[in-house]
Structure 1
């Protein structure tokens, strides 16, 4: 004859670490986005005025273009 026994394991409860890791992932994503945008601004600042004109922006519009506030033909390529 086969005997089946049941043991009661630990109860499952929501883990607070899930919220921690979600918040950490969000902050890391935000940090990497910021670093990437800063790198883009630096790269565009290194271009000469003729190269900037070729892509459709002026030097004063670099940050607006990188941060998505520049609305022209350039928005198709970003």
Structure 2
């Protein structure tokens, strides 16, 4: 059973969201197994920019991506392969 961490970036300024997403992607790829040894994380955001920003970064790091849009909030799930 895999643990899913949830990161709420809804109230965070977009610049900080982009920086945090880069950190998350790097941590997921790290040798210690990701954030809190978690291989899966869900990011919550209202910014469509992240939907366009994350896929190319995740693909080059071999991270699976799932997008879901519910009540004006993007749920972006990243999972280490």
Q: Is TM > 0.5 for Structure 1 vs Structure 2? A: no
- TM-score relative to the length of structure 2: 0.29
Greater RCO (CA < 8 Å, at least 6 residues apart): 2
Larger Rg belongs to: 1
Higher helix content, 1 or 2: 1
- TM-score relative to the length of structure 1: 0.30
